[in-house]
Amino acid sequence: MSENNIKPSDKHVDQDVPVTGNNITTEQASRQPAKKVRRPLLEIRNLVKKYGDVAAVNNVDLTIYEGEIFALLGSSGCGKSTLLRMLAGFEQPTSGSIILDGKDMSVLPPYKRPVNMMFQSYALFPQMTVAQNIAFGLKQDRIYKDGIKKGFFDFGKRLSRDEIEARVDKMLKLVHMEEYRERKPHQLSGGQKQRVALARSLAKQPRLLLLDEPMGALDKKLREQMRLELVNIIESVGVTCVMVTHDQEEAMTMAERIAIMNRGELIQVDEPRKVYENPNCCFAAEFIGSVNMFESRLITSDRNGSVIRSKDLDHDIHLDIDVDLADGMDVTVAIRPEKIYIERSFPVDDKGRKMVNNYTSGIVENIAYMGDISIYYVRIPSGKIVITTLPNADRFNIGLPTWDDQVYLSWDPESCVTLTF
Ligand code: ADP
Ligand code: MG
């Protein structure tokens, strides 16, 4: 079984503890900061939510670890909010279970769950001050030890006025809003409203924080600034967090692991780097970043390597690994644009010999200048457009291919990901 190939049966199976992910190579593992082995906090098992005949959430199996920031990523309508609302208790599952700290939460109403949700609209009370908004939940509810009601006779306790005051102060400090405690929501900027909403969500010290499109109401520049600030705040209180977003950059910068969701199902659950470098299917490969896909057929594969033939390429793709699939099988080879070399001269290997595989000729049809990089659209002899990127390291663009240039594209065997569905 090669690293690039994940059996169809691995779908839905969520990967294990971040530290011990199945197929992290030593090289990848060594680049990651050392992480503690974590305890599972939330276990979602065979969770289904149907609206009529349509399954908005379909057979989701997922384990979230204590202290983890986890992102559900998917396009609009794929079921992200429905999944989140079931965790919060606003929606009843059709079947399956939601276990938090070893206890089944599915039967508990929202206010009895040690879970808090921050809505995209923030849902702040307009007539209340910042401090009153943060104190609201603390005044309303009883507070249980560890956030969980333990049995019928556990009545928890109401916080005293002083305790509430102290908790509000602490939250204001946490989100750097001490000076704004007497303001009303309409006197705050978008980013400030978001901080207040976050403070209010964290005031009851939930075990699990749910964020539905947390930056949805902010403009692009502010979204980018708030990402790391939000992560810092969440990490400083150590709360476990499940967030939902349709923005892949947001998911990748904020979360330790992400789940790609499509039509109610989890397609791949992994660290951002692994989802990008080792997508487990064509959907995952195309969903994150851009990618060149070559529809191909596996000619041979054994421990000496694999030969793959694409109708779009004049020369075969040769891999150093055994892809461990049946000869003659249809496969798709995915190559990320930044892993394709583009040059005007005929490509040579590291020993200076002319390459015979893993390359194609082409004509530069278009160049998109993005500032840091340029994206080249190269038409290869089959008519297919291949995308490749070059960093604009040289300010004056000296020596880079330009429009209508005849070029060669080539790639390393390790850059190819072989996909079967
Ligand atoms: P997302 O948050 O990923 O955009 P949602 O979870 O809101 O997606 O919706 C998933 C699917 O379930 C959509 O097709 C949506 O139309 C449907 N859906 C969501 N809520 C309801 C509801 N209350 N009644 C019927 N269908 C719903
Ligand atoms: Mg939604």
Q: Ligand 1: which residue has its CA nearest to atom 2?
A: 81
The yes-or-no verdict on residue 150 having pLDDT over 80 is: no
- Per-residue pLDDT of 373-411, as tens digits, reads 999 999 999 999 999 999 998 888 888 999 999 999 999
Please, which pLDDT band fits residue 158 given cuts at 50, 70 and 90?
Answer: confident
87 CA distance to ligand 2 centroid (A)?
14
How many alpha carbons fall within 13 Å on the CB side of residue 409? 30
Task: Output the pLDDT for position 204.
Answer: 86
Could you tell me the end-to-end alpha-carbon distance of the chain, in angstroms, rounded to an integer? 16
Question: Residue 394 has what pLDDT?
Answer: 86
| Ligand 1 nearest-atom number relative to CA 79 | 6
Q: Which ligand is closest in space to the CA of residue 261?
A: 1
Please tell me the predicted confidence (pLDDT) of residue 146: 63
Per-residue pLDDT of 53-91, as tens digits, reads 999 999 999 999 999 999 999 999 999 999 999 999 999
Look-up: residue for tokens 């005293």? Answer: 160
Lowest average pLDDT, out of 29-33, 111-115, 210-214, goes to 29-33
Spatial separation of the C-alpha atoms in residues 411 and 336, rounded to whole Å = 10
Name the closest-CA residue to atom 25, ligand 1: 51
Q: Distance between CA atoms of 318 and 414, rounded to whole angstroms?
A: 10
Query: Binning pLDDT at 50, 70 and 90, where does residue 122 land?
Result: confident
State pLDDT tens for residues 233-284.
999 999 999 999 999 999 999 999 999 999 999 999 999 999 999 999 999 9
Is the pLDDT at 113 greater than 80? The verdict is: yes
For 88-99, write each residue's pLDDT tens digit: 999 999 999 999
**Are the beta carbons of 410 and 339 closer than 8 angstroms?**
no
309-348 in b/e burial notation, b at 16+ Cβ within 10 A? ebebbeebbbbebbbebeeeeebbbbbbbbbbbbbeeebe
**What average pLDDT does the chain have?**
88
- Domains of the chain, residue spans: 8-114+238-289, 290-419
Residue 3 has pLDDT above 60, yes or no: no
Return residues with CB closer than 5 A to ligand 2 (ion): 81
Task: Determine which helix (DSSP H) or strand (DSSP E) holds 232, and give its type and residue range.
Answer: helix 220-237
Instruction: Kindly tell me if the per-residue pLDDT of 220 is higher than 90.
Output: no
- Provide the pLDDT for residue 26: 38
pLDDT-derived band at 35 (thresholds 50, 70, 90) equals: low
Stronger pLDDT, 279 or 29, i.e. the higher one: 279
Strands 208-212 and 240-245 come out as: parallel
Catalogue the E-assigned strands of 134-176. Answer: none
Ligand nearest to the CA of 214: 2
Q: Whose CA is nearest to atom 23 of ligand 1?
A: 51
Give pLDDT tens digits for 320-354.
999 989 999 999 999 999 999 999 999 998 899 99
Check residue 420 and give its pLDDT: 96
**Which ligand 1 atom is at minimum distance from the Cα of 52?**
25
Separation between Cα atoms, residue 375 and residue 102, nearest integer Å:
49
| Residues at CB less than 6 angstroms from ligand 1 | 51, 56, 74, 76-82
pLDDT band at 107 (very low <50, low <70, confident <90, very high): confident
Which residue has its alpha carbon closest to ligand 1 atom 16? 77
pLDDT at position 147 is: 62
Which of 121-130, 223-232, 287-296 is most confident?
A: 287-296
In this structure, of 2-11, 160-169, 176-185, the range with the lowest mean pLDDT score is 2-11
Q: What is the DSSP string of 275-306?
A: HHHS-SSHHHHHHSS--EEEEEEEEEEETTEE
Indicate if 290-419 has the same CATH topology as 8-114+238-289: no
| Chain CA centroid to CA 394, Å | 33
pLDDT at 152: 67
Ligand closest to Cα of 90 equals 1
Instruction: Look at residue 168 in the predicted model and tell me its pLDDT.
Output: 95
Query: Using CA of residue 239, residue 244, residue 248, residue 249, what is the dihedral sign?
Result: negative
pLDDT of residue 144: 67
Query: Is residue 207 within 8 Å of 65, Cβ to Cβ?
Result: no
Q: Which atom of ligand 1 has the smallest separation from the CA of 82?
A: 6
Instruction: List beta partners, residue 309.
Output: 297
Instruction: Point out the ligand nearest to the CA of residue 216.
Output: 2
Q: What is the spatial distance between Cα 193 and Cα 211, in angstroms, rounded to a whole number?
A: 14
The crossing angle, in degrees rounded to 10, of helices 161-174 and 190-203 is 140
Cα 149 to averaged position of ligand 2 atoms, centre (Å):
30
Atom of ligand 1 nearest to the CA of 57: 10
Quick one: fold of 8-114+238-289? Rossmann fold (3.40.50)
Choosing from 48, 49, 51 the residue with most ligand 1 atoms within 8 A of its CB, the one to mutate for a pocket test is 51
CA distance 110 to 103: 15
CATH homologous superfamily of 290-419? Nucleic acid-binding proteins (2.40.50.140)
- Report helix, strand or coil for 209: strand
Q: What is the pLDDT of residue 335?
A: 98
